[in-house]
Chain A
Amino acid sequence: MTRKDWGLLLLLIVVGGVTALLNPRFLSAVNLLDMANLIGLFGIFSLGEGLVVITGGIDLSVGSMFSLLGVIFIDLLVNRGMPWPLAILAIIVGGVVLGALQGLLVTKAKLQPFVVTLCGLLIYRGAARYYTTDATMGFGYTDDFDWLGWLASGRSWGIPHPFILLILVAVVMGVLLHRSVFGRYLFAIGRNEEAARFSGIRTEAIITGAYIISGGLAGLATICLVFYTNSVSPSSFGNFYELYAIAAAVLGGCSLRGGEGSIIGIVLGTALLQVLQNLVNILGIPSSLNFAVMGSVILIGVLADQPFIRRAIPSIRSLRSGASASKPTRAVP
């Protein structure tokens, strides 16, 4: 864990601790497991978003992707009678294809990631609404999909499946990002794309890879989300979820300039966001303030990581520098 990750964990504990003091119900098993479920749902696609952010890009399209893939998923299962393993595969492949398309537009057509994925956001949402003529799609009254529903949003030993899935995905992504050649290349490209290219790295392929993974994880998340809500209304399903993902990545130490971030950080960032949502409910804060609370905490978190603040708070600094990768000071010229 890096210094930033420890700082975030500390913030999470402090926020959680204060909430628990104000309302002990926060720590009840029911509440914690509900939160774990949401952390799982949001964490899966936030990890994909994190990879894209590390390349110096951004993916604004995931929320709309849920909507488009979600209606297709229900359509395949309910109306077209596709076997569920095939349907799941189709949705994940669908996410991969959309991600690849966006990645190619960014790398080959040299368009800005913001523009490409903003267009994705609009197009996918529109396509989803057209596909269902704006009608909400659900599973109806059949219990054919109970087993699949249990798999995607049920619990084992009390632990919500999305959370278990997140842990699995996080482990795989952690190895991929922090131990593999691909991950090293991602960081190298995010920090200095030209130098990476001059070192013989196929930068375009690697960047496209990040968008593909983001799309694939969005596909995976779609399946869990569909069974979480049990229906998809294409105009609202997944709205703003890309912003949750970006917020989690930024809170988790990813710089929008690229080249920084960690899987553990993104998971902790997602957790903090869900704790904040929960805190608003459990402390009786008007739920209209939900976004305002989230925005304020992100702002404070990002501010606290600024060099001038870190210098002003030596105690936090010493605590954080206990971790291995402390930032070296610049040499005196």
Chain B
Amino acid sequence: MSPPPLLSLVGISKSYAGVKALEDVSLTVEAGTVLGLIGENGAGKSTLMKILGGVVQPDAGSIVVDGVAHSTMTVADAARSGIAFVHQELTVLDNLDVAANIFLGREPVAGGPLRLVRTRRMHDLARPLLERLGADFGPETSVSRLLIAQRQLVEIARALSVDARVIIMDEPTSSLTLQETDRLLQVIAELRASGVSVIYISHRLHEVKLCADRVVCLRDGRIAGELPHDEIDHNAMIRLMIGRELRSLYTPPRTPPGGELCVIDRVVTSAFPDRHISLSVHRGEILGLAGLVGSGRTSLARALFGVDPILSGEVRLAGERVEVRSPRAAIAQGIYLVPEDRKGQGLILDMPLSENISLASLRRFASFNLVNRDAETTTARAQQVSLRIKTPNVAVHAATLSGGNQQKVVLAKWLSMAPRLIIFDEPTRGIDVGAKGEIYTLMRALADDGVAIVMISSDMEEVIGVSDRVAVMHEGEISGILDRIDFSELNVLRLAIGQPAEHLESVS
């Protein structure tokens, strides 16, 4: 007989305002295993994990930890049972150092009622945890100086410091580079070897495939199926998630891309003052921009959009030199950015959809500076229909939409204007499979209308599946440009870490 599972969920159901978020969900996690949890957004993964963490109470069912059944669970119960989270949006405090974050709320203290923090002791306690995770920074490092991947290690170290036995990771790699992702997967393998279980939630199926011992798929609040280790493969997972085969991502352009629209000539950005970037984007093409996070992709996008200054070099659009000193100047030239930080930079969450959509072109909806709300609503409705934004009406606030629909709203803002170059920064981060496909279709339709598209992406499937060409960045420079014929995960990866690709046709 196999040992009893470390953790099991039995018949969990949960409704929100009459809508079933979860229905009769049961699953088990054995000690020292990695459970891959997949499913489209809205399938119920987040709700299930909130129940496990004690944040939300189930309507029915129970949670069994070490053979003890809980019908309700509080946050404190969850922590006591050794359940820890590594959140999609990191929750480390960047004004504190690493050790202070790891022991936040549980600082070793001295001095009796004075409760003075024993900083040295805290650092000593943190050091072995960081070593165990292979961290390349010490406990005294300020978190503000860490990269996202390093901050994530701090979160994992925090989980280890409370002897967590199940660590739930929700989209842990969504902002990591390829290399960092690999390292995280190694960390997970080591955690597993030391008896810690991991529930790994991700849209990135190849990662799930690499690390999971077993995969459970949720669909519409129910268990859609389960795959044992030997049967985990891409198509099987996709079939479970959407109940149908995913067609090939790539749609070729309707007509071959035209001439150079945007030429980036020896541009130097403030992030890499001693490197320069030269790159051209053709009319009607989708140029993938791959590379590790921090390789300068987002800095380039920010410079092109006028957020950060261009230190030297020039940008030419249709042969003419353009000055982009502010987003406003870039927009006037038809250069638009769909930012990575959708909620922080792309949208105003507490504003109605219609006002978000009209925000960049508001003057066109105004006469004598007074906004014509009817025209605004009409345009918003038209965009809602053409982009298939799922919402009861355009007066709802953007905060209430799912990630995919929010991204469509960001797009709608630009599409009601006259785009020439659109830069998409991680366009499908945190977006479910179905909506991803729709975003790709929209990008292709834009390209076919003659818009030049730059797509920054860390998702290998997306880079290879969607782009017509791929430029790869490494430490502030373009390390190579691949045509479709040379597309391969290996080539992109090699260029991203600064090695030459195989069968390279052109290197700038």
Contacts and interface: CB of A to CB of B under 8 A. Distances in A.
Contacts, number: 89
Contacts of B370: 175, 179-181
A259 B355 CA distance: 13
Nearest to B405: A331
Contacts of A330: 399-400
B400 A328 contact: yes
Interface of A: 175, 179-182, 184-185, 187-188, 191-192, 194-202, 259, 327-333
A196 B360 CA distance: 8
A179 B402 CA distance: 29
Nearest to A204: B326
Interface stretch (B14-22, B183-191, B222-230, B477-485): B14-22
Given A181-B369, A184-B371, 10 more contacts: A184-B359, A184-B362, A188-B348, A188-B359, A192-B349, A201-B359, A259-B350, A332-B17, A333-B41, A333-B47
Interface residues of B, number: 42
B369 A180 contact: yes
The secondary structure that dominates the B interface is: mixed
Q: Which of A196, A200, A201 has the most CB of B within 10 A?
A: A200
B445 interface: no
Report, nearest first, the 8 A-B pairs whose CB atoms are least far apart: A200-B331, A332-B16, A199-B360, A200-B328, A331-B400, A333-B46, A199-B359, A192-B348
A181 B362 contact: yes
A328 B42 CA distance: 19
A73 B46 CA distance: 64
Given A184-B362, A188-B359, A332-B19, A198 B350 contact: no
B404 interface: no
B371 A198 contact: no
A201 B328 CA distance: 7
12 contacts: A175-B370, A185-B362, A188-B348, A192-B350, A195-B345, A195-B346, A196-B348, A198-B345, A199-B327, A199-B360, A200-B330, A201-B359
B64 interface: no
B347 interface: yes
Contact of A200 (B47, B360, B396): B360
Nearest to A180: B369
A195 B351 CA distance: 12
A180 B339 CA distance: 27
Interface in B345-396: 345-351, 355, 359-360, 362-363, 366, 369-371, 396
B413 A199 contact: yes
Contact of B344 (A192, A202, A328): A192
A321 to B, nearest CB: 14
Nearest to A176: B369
Contact of B345 (A180, A194, A329): A194
Q: Which of A194, A195, A330 has the most CB of B within 10 A?
A: A195
Contacts of B344: 192, 194-195
Nearest to A324: B395
Contacts of B326: 197, 202
B426 to A, nearest CB: 15
B397 interface: yes
A99 B359 CA distance: 27
Contacts of A185: 362
A328 B392 CA distance: 11
Given A199-B413, A331-B401, A333-B42, A182 B327 contact: no
Interface in B302-324: 305, 307
B360 A195 contact: no
B446 interface: no
A195 B398 CA distance: 13
A167 B21 CA distance: 51
Interface string B320-344: 0000001110111000010100001
